Structure 1
Amino acid sequence: MQWFLRDLTGMLGGILFTLYQGSNLDANAKMWRLVADLMNDLGMLMDLVSPLFPASFVFVVCFGSLSRSFTGVAGGATRAALTQHFALQNNAADISAKEGSQETMATMIGMAVGMLLARLTMGHPFAIWFSFLSLTFFHMYANYRAVCCLALTSLNTERSSILLLQFMESRQVLFPEQVSRMEHILPIQTIFWSTNKVKLPHKRINLGVRVSSLDQRDMMELLHSAGSHYRKAKYLLLERNQIINVILHKDSTTSDILQSVIHALVMAKLKEENTSVHVESQSWMDKHYKVFLQKLSSSGWKTERLLSPSIIWRANWLCESSDDKMD
């Protein structure tokens, strides 16, 4: 019965993790790649300590199974995303095959070293635990350093925020290697901007807001915005309580989504200065957005699309000179 509960917990954990975080894996591949490795180490630790707690044996092994289920989902999904990054010649299959061969070789070496350590530490519990914990911490640190060195060229909301803030201050665009040292890769990290400790504005953006969740006051403001500030745009922005809500048109493309997020980031930044956010942000977009994209491309960034969670809710509106409608 206890093994049934362990396996069931792992299966349910994988399903629930996919349900709540599946659409976020592409946008934050570095973070979830590291989390997958950490959860795998945690699962192995739970398996080893479970015999030490007979009264809580089922709970401990179920927790270990849950950790490994997260590893399976996050590890497999992020491996596919990172393979695309390394496939510079559109040779994802070749990269995947070679990565699998390297992993197999590393596993074989690990098995040989593990057998040697098992023989040397046989009958010495302290030496066994010291070896396991030492190698586990080394594995975690090595994975952390490896992920930190990974310079992705795709744009997500955090990397876009870092790049935009630098561009607004100096009119210069950072390279992927520079941004990789500034973005966070742990879920529990508090995000600060470089040395001045300013929180990045991407945390104050809601992308793909459902129109029916807005109240009458917000709807009236959106109707006004659709016919004035965003007459030609396929998105609408609504600021409430320092949060920038992004409503996307049903016909919006990947370039429209990227533009809407950049516009929302500009608005969030200008809101800190207590300016007229709609007018000033639109003026900034008209003057600098195309230049910003050109500099991103010349610095090695991919500007075709923005990596973001799946956008489920979209809206449809018609803008005319005298009458604005929204469905």
Structure 2
Amino acid sequence: MVSKSIGIALGIALANCFGSSTSFALASFGVVTWIHMYCNLKSHQSIQLKTLNPYRASLVFSEYLLSGQAPSIKEVNAEEPLFPDLLFLNFISANREQSDALSSEAKQPASEIEVRLQLGSKLSDAVNNKEDALALFSLYKDEGYILAEQEGKFCCLKKVVRHKQDMLKSLFQVNYLYWLERNAGIESRGASNDCRQGGRLRISLEYVQREFNHVKMDSESVGWVTDGLIARPLLNRIRPVCEAV
């Protein structure tokens, strides 16, 4: 209410000063708009978000995989770009401190996973044949999601019956898959091969089943809310009878 009153008073004062001058009106509009945007920017930067979206979660998980510790809320918020989906607008203002606590090896996966991740994929996005589909359903029979890699994309399929933490768990597996790819040189050889013993999907899922609760507890200990992933997946769902809707 106070800011609204100040704005009205400022508008009246400027109108009295500039009268009907178009050039002065445009100049004052530009200055006031810049001030307004700058204040919004500083307000946005002052907020310390405790929830996990795909980018923040990837930063947390990547750092955990590298150091064994979850980074703090302040460190992660300082690294998140203002426009995650618009790469040419991603910048950090000169007055904003960047965190030196997060390694570059943790920052790179977060940026790349953001581009490669597809939540709520259709079954046809993830598999090319019946053998791959059966292998995935067998591997993920006890999970609320199915994860596969197709043409460089991490395709996460959501089941109809699921837990609200399934998307967060699937993203942890995506981060470990990325780690296997970059640090161990284990790349995808097709869904059916990846689901077999020693395949990267099986290796990563077994790791996630062992470590997910640990990374959750470590994240919660530094203040993160790990109830689920803040995201807008596609509306596709996988039924228990292997039908995608």
TM-score bin (small chain)? 0.7 to 0.9
**Structure with a larger share of its residues in helix:** 1
Structure-1 residue corresponding to 2:112: 200
Say whether residues 1:189 and 2:87 are aligned partners. yes
Verify: 1:252 aligned to 2:162, yes or no. Answer: yes
The 5 A counterparts of 1:171-182 are: 171-182=68-79
Shift of residue 194, structure 1, vs aligned partner: 6.6
Matched residue, 1:262? 172
Shift of 1:113: 1.3
Alpha-carbon distance change, 216 to 195 in structure 1, aligned in 2, over 3 angstroms: closer
Q: Deviations over 1:178-211 (max 9, x none)?
A: 2111111224235699756723313211111122
The one-letter amino acid paired with 2:30 is L
2 CA distance for matches of 1:237 and 1:310?
Answer: 14
Q: Does 1:222 align with 2:130?
A: no
Whether the 8 Å CA contact 2:58–2:113 is kept in 1: the answer is: yes
SS of equivalent to 2:87: coil
Q: 1:163 Cα shift?
A: 0.8
Gaps spanning 5+ residues in structure 1: where?
A: 1-103, 318-324
With over 3 angstroms needed to count, the CA separation of the structure-2 counterparts of 1:241 and 1:269, relative to structure 1, is farther
Please list every run of 5 or more consecutive structure 2 residues that lacks an aligned counterpart in the other structure.
92-101, 187-198
One-letter amino acid of the counterpart of residue 113, structure 2: P
% identity of equivalent residues: 21
- 1:98-177 matched pairs, under 5 angstroms: 104-177=1-74
Question: Measured at CA, do residues 158 and 130 of structure 1 come closer, stay the same or move farther in structure 2, by a change above 3 Å?
Answer: same
Q: Secondary structure at the match of 1:306?
A: coil
Question: Structure 1 residue 247: deviation in Å?
Answer: 1.4
Shift of 1:239: 0.9
Q: CA deviation at 1:288?
A: 2.1
Rounded Cα–Cα distance in structure 2 between residues aligned with 1:216 and 1:139: 51
Query: One-letter code of the match for 1:251?
Result: V
Contact 1:162 1:200 (C-alpha < 8 Å) held by counterparts: no
Whether the 8 Å contact between 2:118 and 2:233 is mirrored in structure 1 is no
The answer to whether the 8 A contact 1:222-1:236 is kept is no
Deviation, structure 1 residue 225: 2.8
The aligned residue for residue 232 of structure 2 is: 309
Of residues 190, 203, 209, the one that matches 2:121 is 209
Rg larger for: 1
Query: TM-score, normalized by length of structure 2?
Result: 0.77
Distance 2:238 2:104 in 1: 40
Separation of aligned partners in 1, 2:178 and 2:104: 20
Shift of 1:123: 4.6
TM-score w.r.t. length of structure 1: 0.59
Partner of 1:294: 217
171-180 vs 150-159, which moves further: 171-180
